[in-house]
DNA sequence: ATGGCTTAGTGCCTAAGA
């Protein structure tokens, strides 16, 4: 099976690209989507189901919003972090083919001196606790999404420029490591990868053409799943399209 | 050049993203 994550930056705008992408990937089993930016009544459920997908979603106006699409039925669907009271719709969890998949849109944080930064750190602490609890119940677990953290300097196009900025600060990276310490592997780093591999590029400054990006979208796999993982790739093709999302999808492949 | 673009809503500018 293949597990993917993609921050689409508005599902309303990107739905045709998402459906095209899914149609071209018959091996894909489950896709976690972030930043749908849609209230539930406006979610394009019929179009997605017509394409042969099961779907669950939780959203709000303008910001955030997450969805999970699956070829197999979505079981035991859970919305948001049960241990963190939060009006922002950022998490969706479901069991697919015996695999527990947590799709997360981690808080951006905006800047180190923003009030959103301590919110980000507290939010990730709750995600860590929730993932620990889920992992105890479901040894076959994938935590995927837009983490808004570049784990290492090699995940940053220009580490000097980004030094001490949000997305790379030590408290954020320590929390990313705390997630790994629960017993998760960054599937992308299980394999040899090209240098300067990124999953997000700024719309401005010709970021994509210059490959001035960050690797902030991740597929983390429990040890049981990591043992089955045969590959992980970032698909840059959708980023080349007209009117792209600023993020590229990340796909991990698991042997049966 | 500490910004350039893209999105949605309050709507023709503003806030936010990363």
In 3D space, the residue among A243, A207, A199 whose CA is nearest the CA of residue A7 turns out to be A199
Under the banding of pLDDT at 50, 70 and 90, the label for residue A113 is: very high
Whether any strand B atom is under 7 angstroms from the Cβ of A203: the reply reads yes
pLDDT tens for A129-138 read: 999 999 999 9
Question: What nucleotide is nearest A9 when CA is compared to C1'?
Answer: B7
**What is the bridge-based pairing of β-strands A141-146 and A99-105?**
parallel
CATH classification code of A2-254: 3.60.10.10
pLDDT (average), residues A155-161:
95
What is the distance between the alpha carbons of residues A45 and A58, in angstroms, rounded to a whole number?
A: 12
Phi-psi region of A221 (alpha: psi -120 to 50; beta: other; left: phi over 0): beta
Q: Is A105 known to be catalytic?
A: yes
Contacts of A229 (CB under 8 A, 6+ apart): A185, A187, A190, A221, A252, A253, A254, A255
Residue A164 has a pLDDT of 84
Residue A233 has a pLDDT of 98
pLDDT (average), residues A197-209:
95
b/e code A195-224 from CB counts within 10 Å (16+ = b): eebbbbbeeeeebbeeebbbbbbbbbbbee
Residue A57: helix, strand or coil by DSSP? strand
pLDDT tens for A8-36 read: 999 999 999 999 999 999 999 999 999 99
- Report chain A's terminal Cα–Cα distance, integer Å: 7
Distance in Å, residue A61 CA to nucleotide B18 C1'? 20
**Domain residue extents for chain A:** 2-254
Residue A254 has a pLDDT of 98
pLDDT tens for A47-86 read: 999 999 999 999 999 999 999 999 999 999 999 999 999 9
Q: Is A203 known to be catalytic?
A: no
Q: Which one from A146, A155, A186, A217 is the annotated catalytic residue?
A: A146
């Amino acid at each position: 099976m293949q597990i993917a994550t993609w921050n689409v930056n508005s599902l309303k705008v990107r739905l045709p690209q998402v459906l095209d992408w899914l149609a071209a990937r018959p091996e894909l089993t489950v896709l976690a989507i972030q930043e749908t930016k849609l209230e539930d009544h406006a979610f394009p459920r019929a179009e997605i189901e017509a394409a042969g997908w099961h779907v669950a979603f939780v959203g709000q106006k303008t910001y955030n919003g997450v969805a999970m699409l699956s070829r197999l039925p979505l079981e035991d669907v859970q919305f948001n972090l049960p241990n963190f009271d939060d009006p922002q719709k950022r998490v969706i969890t479901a069991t697919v083919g015996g695999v527990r998949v947590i799709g997360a849109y981690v808080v951006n944080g905006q800047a180190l001196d923003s009030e959103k930064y301590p919110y980000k750190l507290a939010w990730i602490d709750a995600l860590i606790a929730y993932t620990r609890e889920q992992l105890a119940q479901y040894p076959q677990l994938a935590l995927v999404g837009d983490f808004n953290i570049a784990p290492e300097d090699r995940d940053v196009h220009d580490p000097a420029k980004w030094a001490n900025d949000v997305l790379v600060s030590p408290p954020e990276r320590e929390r990313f490591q705390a997630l790994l310490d629960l017993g998760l592997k960054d599937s992308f780093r299980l394999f040899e990868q090209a240098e300067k591999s990124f999953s997000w590029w700024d719309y401005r400054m010709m970021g994509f053409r210059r490959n001035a990006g960050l690797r902030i979208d991740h597929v983390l796999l429990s040890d049981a799943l990591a043992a089955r993982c045969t590959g992980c790739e970032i698909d840059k093709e959708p980023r080349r399209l007209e009117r792209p999302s600023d993020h590229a999808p990340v796909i991990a492949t698991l042997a049966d």
